Structures are given as structure tokens and as C-alpha cells.
Amino acid sequence: MPKKKSAFGRVKKWHKITLTFNGPEASETSYPNPFLEYRLTVTFASGNKKYKVPGFFAADGNASETSAVSGNKWRVFFVPDEEGEWKYTVSFRKGENIAISHEDTVGETVYPDGLSGTFIVGSADSAAAGFRSKGRLTYTGERYLQFAEKKEPFFKRRGRQS
């Protein structure tokens, strides 16, 4: 069976992926307000795992460099915690105060609502710097947070030569 290719390139376990969608044109300084009147949620699923991840208004997609306050880019970040095929499905809605509503079906759907796709996640990079080789920090009921991949405790070092 041939290997499936991902539209995201090489995706590895514990590495962040970024999805950016072209959506409605919006501005931080006008109505409808992109932070209150729109809600982007992307559901990521693999096997029995399912994560609903909130997205955000990204203006022109490069606002940290351009200082843009308007644009049509909407973005979500996700860090897969399992190898294999993942599916994503976009929910994008517009309505008064929808961003603070607890109801999933309020408001009207707007593009890119319903958009979906898949990507393949490979094994974690054991030589990667930082958390990419150890996984996210999780609370296990013990005194210290624990890395999800390595199952070892996290200790924050402070002071000289830390």
C-alpha cells in the first residue's frame, strides 16, 4: 500500500501544526468584532481521541510584523499527541456575542464552516529540542507535572547556570 502524503508536509508527534483559513474580512475596530461576533472551532480526531480547539482572528496572517488590524485570516494551532491519520473539521459561526456562548449551534454558519481534511502524523523526533521530544506537560495527580511522552517529572530550574 503506498504511503499517504500530507498537505502539511512532514508532521511529527508533539510538533505544532498551524491551520490558516481564508474567511470573512474583519477588523478589530469595526462591527462585527472578530473577537466577539465570530467563533472558529476546529475538531481534530484520531481513533478514539477527539479535541475541540478554538481558533482566532489573525488579521492579515502576519500582524506581528505588519501591525495589521484587519484581514481575512483565521488561525488555529494544534499539537498532535498520537501517530497515525488525523481528521480535522471546521466549525465557523457568526452571531451576536457568539464567542462567549456555550451553545455550539447558535448563530449562522459562514465559510470555512464544514471544511475538513486529513493529515498523517509520524513518530516524535527524539533529538528535538525542548518539549518536542518529551511531549506536553500533564497533571497526573502527583506533586510535579509530568511529560506525556517520557513519563518523567518536570522541574523548572532557577538561578545561576540554570
Q: Tell me: the pLDDT tens digits for 57-90?
A: 999 999 999 999 999 999 999 999 999 999 999 9
Cis preceding linkage at 34, omega within 30 = no
Cβ distance 41 to 55 under 8 Å?
A: yes
Low-confidence ranges of the chain (pLDDT < 70): 1-8, 158-159, 161-162
pTM of the model: 0.85
Residue 47 grid cell: 481513533
Q: Could you tell me where in the chain the CATH 2.60.40.10 domains are found?
A: 11-123
Write the CATH number of the domain with boundaries 11-123. Answer: 2.60.40.10
- What whole-number distance in Å separates Cα of residue 29 and Cα of residue 69? 7
Helices (H) and strands (E) in the chain, counts: 1, 11
- What whole-number distance in Å separates Cα of residue 38 and Cα of residue 56? 9
Cβ distance 38 to 98 under 8 Å?
A: yes
- What whole-number distance in Å separates Cα of residue 28 and Cα of residue 19? 21
Contacting residues for 159 by C-beta, under 8 A, at least 6 apart:
none
Residue 62 grid cell: 502576519
3-state secondary structure of 42: strand
